[in-house]
Each structure stands twice: as structure tokens, then as C-alpha cells.
């Protein structure tokens, strides 16, 4: 049974492995818990997580993991904070720091926040957590090293410091500046290297022991998983998180083989351009904070099914299976956003069309043909030809256009074909096809 643990400055991985055989990951950011939960582990442990530079772990992703029957434990740092907020839903908090937050004795994030080095340096802490300052000063008073008044002064000075600046030399200097006894401060300074209490580390080790006990003897009964509501905000986060993974998870094992087949088919460039456009559209909607109302999502699915002739539920399911689409909600949520971008930025895309055609080398030939067609039709006074005027039935027009001109079968759904080809209606496709028939007849 697999367990994942997020740790960093609180507990080095080498020490953690001595307590629990698990997969250890760096401090968690938003989406990391969800990504790990997709692997269906038996448990997830959260010790360290990011606070400022990147979005923090979202409560909703922990709730999602719990709703999937995955045990989630928290302690020491970000884990203690989230466990105190979500213990009512089944997240298990461990240690004194968790208990202090859970009882309401502590509230601020800066109680556990530290600044630390990069992963290459083992996330070495470069400041002291306020919870460690409190635990250390409590021990110093219990040993008679400092009195209650100096204890409170040191706590007040440490708490007033911005957390990256919270180091013992500054704390002691601040207390000295407030008139604290120099002798007492020097005694404390000499005691600190051996007497300092690392409460965060203690709690982290306790968490690993609790997780090991859970692995060795899972509870006979467990509370039912909490209900989970798939809000628009959740679906958006889910989509963004999955886009940061290397391709669709269900295709991970076949990614390179799939790309080889695409490259060999000659369709790579077109597919890549489409994928890039989709990625940019989704990023734009994310930055704009665009959400998809439920009725729009439903309409997108209906349009998508109609366009592809997936009229029955079994038809849609066969399509989903053939496309290896396991989480269709995210796919259709993204599809709705992409279609919104297409509508909103249609005029912008049209302005860029000529330059795109120039990159492919197609503009000159297309424009020359369009100009020649206009001259020919104007000369014949057939700028707007009618079927009766050229001696064709509509059936004969479609037969000529598809079977002779495009060398393809007549599609069963002309309206769908027209929209896919860039026409707003079948009537506009008919007009263009008829003009093409007259022009082709004239040019032989």
C-alpha cells in the first residue's frame, strides 16, 4: 500500500525514511494533493506546504481525497493548519501544534511559516518558526533559565518580527533593546544550541508514526467519506492541475507512441496548432476568471453530440470509450471555455488569418483565385447565381460539389458540415458551392 508525504524544511527526507517507508515529495502547492490522490494511495501525509510564492494547498483538494476514501494526515506546518480546519471532515491532525490550532490558541499562518533554501540544499530552514520559539521558551522557563516576564518579552519580540527575519539573534537583540537583563539573555544564548526545542520536527515524526500504525493496522471501521460538491471553481482547478501533468494521465504510458503515429501520419503540424490554440484559450479564460454556468456546460455537451451525430447515450459512451476519455466533465468544461473564446475573439482571429496563411504560403494562390472568380462571375452577371438559372437541382449541386469537386461522399448532416467548414449556415455553403460550380464551368 502506497503512502505519500509532503515534507521540506521541517523534516529531512533521510530522517523521515527511517520512520516510514513512503514516497516523499517537496512542500505541497495548490493541486499537488489532488495530483497525488489521483494515484489512489492508501494515505497522504502533509507536513510542509507553500504559503506565499505559489498558491497554497486548497481545502477542496483535501476534501476530494477524503471523499475518495483516502486517509489524509497533517502535522507541524501547513499540514497542522489544514488539519485544524478540516478535522471535522475526517482529516487527521497529529501533534501539539495541530492541537494548539484546533483549540484556537493559535490562529496565524506565520506561527509555522519559515524561509528556507532550495530543494538542492535540502530545504534548509533559514528562520525559526514561531511555534518553535514558543516551545523553546516554555522549556527554558521550566528549567528556571528565564522568568515569566522575560518569557513574555521574548514571545512579544519574536511575534513582532516578519517571519523571514525571525532568528534567535534578532529575538535576543530585540529583547535587549527593551531593557531585558543582559545576563539572562546571555545565559539563554549559551543554552539554545542544546536546549532549543524543534516542535515542528517532533510533530512531523509523530505524524509518520501514526501513518505507519495506520498502514500496519488499518482501523476496523472508518467514518463515511464527506460529501463532495463539484463546483465550477473545482472543475476549473481540476482542469488546470491536469494540464500541468505530462499529458492526459490515462495516455501517459502511450504518449511517445501516440506522437510517433501522429508524426508519421503527416498531421502533426495541424494537430499541434490546434492543441496550442486550445491551451492559449484555456489560459486566457483562467486569467479572466471565466466560469462555466451549468446550463452552458449542458448546452456544450448537446452541441458537441449533435455535431458528431452522437444522438443516443450509447453513442456518446462509445465515443468516450474510443477516445479514452475517463473524466468527461473536465473535457466538456474546457470545451465550453474554448467555444466561448472562439465566439468572443472571432473578429481578432479573422484579422490574423491572412498572416497565418502567409506562414503556410497559401495566401497568394487563394487570393488570386478569389479575385479571378469575382471577375468571371461579374462578367457573366452571376455574382449571385440561382439553381434554376444554371440548370441544377439542389441534389445535383451537392453531388457535384462533394463527389466531383471534393472527391468525397455527401455528408449525412449538411448543417454540421457547413459549420465545420466555417459557414454560418447551409444556405451560405450552398451559395459558395453554386458560385464555385459556375466558376469551374467557365474555367473548364
Domain ranges of the chain: 3-122+201-216, 130-199, 268-359, 361-441
- Put simply, whether the predicted model's pTM sits higher than 0.85 gets the answer no
| pLDDT digit string, tens, across residues 340-367 | 998 899 889 889 999 989 998 999 999 9
pLDDT of residue 283: 81
Average pLDDT over residues 272-286: 88
**How, if at all, do strands 43-46 and 92-94 pair?**
unpaired
* pLDDT at 443 exceeding the cut of 70: yes
Cβ neighbourhood burial of 412 (10 Å; 0-12, 13-18, 19+):
exposed
pLDDT of residue 251: 56
Phi-psi region of 291 (alpha: psi -120 to 50; beta: other; left: phi over 0): beta
* pLDDT at 240 exceeding the cut of 90: no
Angle at 171 between CA 166 and CA 173, to 5 degrees: 135
Who's near 382: CB < 8 A, 6+ residues apart?
Answer: 389, 390, 435, 438
Cell of 325: 476519455
* pLDDT at 252 exceeding the cut of 60: no
* pLDDT at 14 exceeding the cut of 60: yes
- Which of 143-152, 282-291, 419-428 has the highest mean predicted lDDT (pLDDT)? 143-152
Confidence band of 247 (pLDDT split at 50, 70, 90): very low
Cell of 22: 513512503
> How far is 94 from 84, CA to CA, in rounded Å?
10
Amino acid at each position: 500500500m502506497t503512502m505519500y508525504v509532503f515534507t521540506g524544511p521541517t523534516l529531512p527526507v533521510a530522517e523521515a525514511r527511517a520512520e516510514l517507508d513512503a514516497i516523499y515529495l517537496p512542500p505541497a502547492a495548490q493541486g499537488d494533493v489532488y495530483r497525488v490522490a489521483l494515484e489512489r494511495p492508501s494515505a497522504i501525509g502533509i507536513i510542509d506546504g507553500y504559503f506565499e510564492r505559489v498558491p497554497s494547498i486548497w481545502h477542496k483538494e483535501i476534501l476530494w481525497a477524503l471523499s475518495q476514501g483516502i486517509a489524509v494526515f497533517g502535522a507541524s506546518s501547513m499540514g497542522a493548519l489544514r488539519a485544524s480546519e478540516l478535522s471535522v471532515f475526517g482529516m487527521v491532525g497529529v501533534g501539539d501544534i495541530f492541537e494548539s490550532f484546533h483549540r484556537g490558541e493559535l490562529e496565524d499562518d506565520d506561527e509555522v511559516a519559515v524561509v528556507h533554501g532550495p530543494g538542492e540544499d535540502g530545504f534548509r530552514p533559514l528562520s525559526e518558526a514561531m511555534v518553535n520559539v514558543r516551545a523553546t521558551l516554555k522549556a527554558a522557563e521550566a528549567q528556571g533559565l528565564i522568568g515569566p516576564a522575560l518569557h513574555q518579552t521574548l514571545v512579544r519580540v519574536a511575534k513582532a518580527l516578519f517571519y523571514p527575519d525571525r532568528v534567535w539573534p534578532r529575538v535576543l537583540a530585540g529583547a535587549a533593546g527593551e531593557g531585558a537583563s543582559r545576563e539572562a539573555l546571555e545565559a539563554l544564548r549559551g543554552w539554545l544550541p542544546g536546549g532549543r526545542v524543534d516542535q515542528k520536527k517532533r510533530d512531523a515524526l509523530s505524524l509518520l508514526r501514526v501513518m505507519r500504525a495506520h498502514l500496519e493496522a488499518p482501523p476496523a471501521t472508518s467514518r463515511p467519506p464527506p460529501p463532495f460538491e463539484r463546483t465550477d471553481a473545482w472543475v476549473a482547478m481540476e482542469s488546470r492541475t491536469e494540464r500541468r501533468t505530462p499529458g492526459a494521465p490515462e495516455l501517459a504510458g502511450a504518449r511517445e507512441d501516440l506522437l510517433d503515429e501522429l508524426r508519421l501520419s503527416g498531421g502533426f503540424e495541424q494537430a499541434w496548432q490546434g492543441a496550442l490554440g486550445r491551451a492559449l484559450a484555456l489560459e486566457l479564460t483562467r486569467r479572466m476568471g471565466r466560469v462555466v454556468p451549468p446550463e452552458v456546460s449542458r448546452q456544450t455537451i448537446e452541441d458537441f453530440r449533435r455535431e458528431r451525430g452522437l444522438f443516443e447515450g450509447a453513442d456518446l459512451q462509445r465515443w468516450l470509450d474510443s477516445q479514452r476519455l475517463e473524466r468527461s466533465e473536465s473535457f466538456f468544461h474546457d470545451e465550453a471555455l474554448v467555444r466561448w473564446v472562439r465566439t468572443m475573439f472571432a473578429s481578432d482571429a479573422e484579422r490574423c488569418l491572412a498572416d497565418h496563411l502567409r506562414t503556410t504560403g497559401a495566401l497568394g494562390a487563394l487570393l488570386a483565385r478569389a479575385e479571378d472568380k469575382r471577375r468571371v462571375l461579374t462578367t457573366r452577371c452571376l455574382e449571385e447565381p440561382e439553381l434554376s438559372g444554371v440548370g441544377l437541382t439542389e441534389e445535383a449541386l451537392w453531388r457535384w460539389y462533394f463527389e466531383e469537386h471534393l472527391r468525397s461522399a455527401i455528408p449525412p448532416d449538411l448543417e454540421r458540415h457547413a459549420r465545420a467548414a466555417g459557414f454560418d449556415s447551409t444556405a451560405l455553403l450552398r451559395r459558395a458551392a453554386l458560385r464555385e460550380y459556375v466558376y469551374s464551368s467557365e474555367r473548364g
